[in-house]
Each structure stands twice: as structure tokens, then as C-alpha cells.
């Protein structure tokens, strides 16, 4: 197996992008990544695109062909990868495996979602849950995560204010990200007084409905410096599965797929949680951000609330979390999220993150999950 490097990344602006189509979004991201890598499109040998549900959001399936066609990359093989909100992370992993195996040399992994083209995105998003036992019974993703939050609060004493702090820190970072959907700061009081969505979760605990795309260019590590002076190396790529429905879990306050994927990634990289200097976690709701820093091993189980309150997840804290603003502030275009996380980590490791730059970062991690944890992808990157 060959080592793999990232030589180019990009992300479109995230938000309610009424004036740009699905196909134009992913093409924009791809072209910007190609320019960042300083390569020709003809050098790309394969593409993997993460997308959760274009069929429901924009009434378009067969998007692999659509994208290759619209980008002028036919007959290059293009493959759609779907794993709910972890589609981007798995598209990245698919590209990494294609290069590592020697099957391809230069690959683009991308992610895209156009979520605002429907009046109500809730039914489409609910397809990431168990249809028979959850969605058809009226359960939505806010209510699923609200149950998790209630149990975590009961079991570990996590407070409503601690949940709010996670969103506040995300927005503090996102305010420095020009590509973020909501680049503004918020306060704990604003979170607590925002509209109730599913108790105890409020509107400002929840990631938004987002349009956007992102892309990453991969090549063998041995060839990376032919293209860039700042290659970023893939130290680990791991994936794990969990139950799709909450009622099958041994403990709904732990995302077992995150735990197993993280352990695999640490073993693959020969690292421990203390070696990670920044992490992009999948905080579709504030409670999931707290679960992530526990499940990835940065704090003991049940201690995420006090840890966030103490400031360890701030950009200058012990483990900076979501320097991009995370899903809450940067936005969450489902299939693009895992790739956007990677783009942020690459910018951080290159020292190109502008005002949100973390000083001296050498090793970073991304964490992307599908649904309530039915799928998890964890990656570790280094300079």
C-alpha cells in the first residue's frame, strides 16, 4: 500500500445559494481544487463524489454521470458515494484507498448537497434514520438528538448552558471564516432564548439547512512535491458502522462507530488522542459535539460539558475543536461536510487559515458521521 498525500483542496461558500445549481456547485469546487493543486483536469484519473440525497432534494439521480459530463471529465470514471451525512468522509476514504492501492495515481474526492430546493427538507433528511422504527413513527433528527441530550444530562449532569457553550465557541470560530454560512458570534443567552426545536435543543443548537460543495485532490505521497511545496499527508483513514436506530444501542450517549473508527485511526497512525492538535468534529447538534470529544478520547466519558465550559475546545485551548466554525456556523450541506472538514484541516496544517489559524499545528483530525452514528469516518492528517 502506498502513502497518500493531499495536494489541493477547495470549498465553495456555504449557505442558501439560490443562484447556483447543484451541478455548478460541485464543478466550482472541483475547478478550485484543481487550480489549488496546480494540475490539469486531464491528469485526474478518477472521481468519488459524496452526496446523500440529490434524488429528493433536486430530483436528480445518476449524479456521477451528471458531474463528469458537466465538468468535461468524461470518460473518466466517476462514482457516487452515499452514507447519509458521512458521504463526504467516505468519498474521501474511497479516493485514499484508490491511490493507496495503486489503482489510480491522481484522484479527486468531492462532496455536494443542494438542500434549499425543497420547501421542507425534513423528510429527505429523515431517510438517514430507520424508516420503519423511527421516521415513520414521527421521529425527526432533532428529536433523536434531543433524546440523546436528555439522557446525557440525566446520566452525567451535563447542563443546558454547557450545550449552549459548544455553539457559542463554534460561532466564535466561524465569525472568522469567510466561507461560513453564519459568520457571526452568538452568546449563551441567545442560544438559551432561541426557539425550542426539540427539548432541550433550541434553534441555535442545530446546524442549518445548507447548499455547498468541497473537493480534495489526492496523489501518492512520493509524488506530492512535484505539485506542491506544502503537501499534507494522510496518516490514517478509518471507517466503522453502528446501528441505524437508537433503540438498538447499548448506550445512546456513546456513538460506538465513532469510538471504533477513532481507535482504528489512532492505531493506523501510531498516535494517541493527546497527539492531535486540532479536530473538526461532526456537530450537527450541540450534543453531538460533546459526544464527539468524548468518543474520540479527548475527555473522559461524561466530562465533555465541564471541559467545554473550561475552554479546552477554544482555538487556544488544549484541543481546538472546529476552527472552521463546525457544522453549526460553517454550515452542513450533508454530502459535502466531510470534505469541507478536510479542506479546513489542510488549510490549518499549511498555515493558510487566516485569522482562525491555530499556531504550530502539525497533526489534525476530522470526524464525520452519518445519521445518529450508523456510519463514522475518522481521518488523521499531518504535515
Hey, which residues are catalytic here? 85, 332
Instruction: Tell me the C-alpha distance between 5 and 32, whole Å.
Output: 18
Judge contact between 261 and 224, C-beta under 8 A.
no
Instruction: Tell me the C-alpha distance between 219 and 297, whole Å.
Output: 30
The radius of gyration of the chain's CA atoms, rounded to the nearest angstrom, is 19
CA dihedral 283, 288, 290, 292 (to 10 degrees): -80
3-state helix, strand, coil in the chain (%, to 5): 40, 20, 40
Judge contact between 242 and 374, C-beta under 8 A.
yes
Show the cell assigned to 49: 463524489
Judge contact between 255 and 375, C-beta under 8 A.
no
DSSP 247-289: GG-S-TTS-HHHHHHHHHHHHHHT--GGG---EE---SBHHHH
Q: Is 137 exposed, middle or buried (0-12, 13-18, 19+ CB in 10 A)?
A: exposed
Which is nearest to 207 in space by CA: 147, 125, 138? 125
Which is nearest to 348 in space by CA: 366, 367, 328, 335? 366
SS3 label, residue 49: strand
Phi-psi region of 373 (alpha: psi -120 to 50; beta: other; left: phi over 0): left
Q: Where are the beta strands (DSSP E) in 16-96?
A: 46-50, 78-81
DSSP 191-243: HHTSPEEETTEEGGGBPPP-EEEEEEEEEEGGGGGGT-SS-EEEEEEEEEE--
Amino acid at each position: 500500500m502506498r502513502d497518500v498525500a493531499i495536494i489541493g483542496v477547495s470549498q465553495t461558500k456555504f449557505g442558501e445559494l439560490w443562484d447556483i445549481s447543484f451541478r455548478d456547485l460541485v464543478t466550482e469546487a472541483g475547478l478550485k481544487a484543481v487550480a489549488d493543486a496546480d494540475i490539469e483536469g486531464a491528469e485526474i484519473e478518477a472521481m468519488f463524489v459524496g452526496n446523500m440525497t440529490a434524488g429528493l432534494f433536486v430530483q436528480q439521480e445518476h449524479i456521477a454521470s451528471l458531474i463528469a459530463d458537466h465538468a468535461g471529465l468524461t470518460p473518466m470514471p466517476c462514482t457516487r458515494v452515499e452514507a447519509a451525512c458521512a458521504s463526504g468522509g467516505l468519498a474521501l476514504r474511497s479516493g485514499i484507498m484508490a491511490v493507496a492501492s495503486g489503482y489510480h495515481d491522481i484522484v479527486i474526492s468531492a462532496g455536494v448537497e443542494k438542500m434549499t430546493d425543497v420547501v421542507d427538507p425534513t423528510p429527505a433528511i429523515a431517510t438517514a434514520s430507520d424508516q420503519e422504527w423511527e421516521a415513520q413513527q414521527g421521529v425527526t433528527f432533532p428529536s433523536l438528538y434531543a433524546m440523546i441530550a436528555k439522557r446525557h444530562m440525566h446520566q452525567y449532569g451535563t447542563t443546558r448552558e454547557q450545550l449552549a457553550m459548544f455553539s457559542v465557541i463554534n460561532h466564535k470560530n466561524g465569525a472568522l471564516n469567510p466561507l461560513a454560512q453564519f459568520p457571526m458570534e452568538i452568546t449563551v443567552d441567545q442560544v438559551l432564548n432561541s426557539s425550542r426545536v426539540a427539548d432541550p435543543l433550541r434553534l441555535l443548537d442545530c446546524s442549518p439547512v445548507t447548499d455547498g460543495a468541497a473537493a480534495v485532490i489526492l496523489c501518492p505521497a512520493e509524488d506530492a512535491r512535484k505539485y506542491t511545496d506544502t503537501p499534507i499527508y494522510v496518516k490514517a483513514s478509518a471507517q466503522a458502522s453502528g446501528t441505524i436506530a437508537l433503540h438498538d444501542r447499548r448506550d445512546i450517549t456513546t456513538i460506538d462507530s465513532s469510538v471504533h473508527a477513532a481507535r482504528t485511526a489512532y492505531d493506523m497512525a501510531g498516535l494517541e488522542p493527546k497527539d492531535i492538535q486540532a479536530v473538526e468534529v461532526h456537530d450537527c447538534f450541540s450534543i453531538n459535539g460533546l459526544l464527539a470529544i468524548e468518543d474520540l478520547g479527548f475527555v473522559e466519558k461524561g466530562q465533555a460539558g465541564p471541559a467545554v465550559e473550561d475552554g479546552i475546545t477554544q482555538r487556544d485551548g488544549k484541543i481546538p475543536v472546529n476552527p472552521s466554525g463546525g457544522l453549526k456556523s460553517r454550515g452542513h450541506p450533508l454530502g459535502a461536510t466531510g470534505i469541507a472538514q478536510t479542506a479546513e484541516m489542510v488549510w490549518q496544517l499549511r498555515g493558510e487559515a487566516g485569522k482562525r489559524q491555530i499556531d504550530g499545528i502539525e497533526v489534525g483530525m476530522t470526524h464525520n458521521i452519518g445519521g445518529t452514528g450508523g456510519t463514522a469516518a475518522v481521518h488523521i492528517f499531518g504535515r
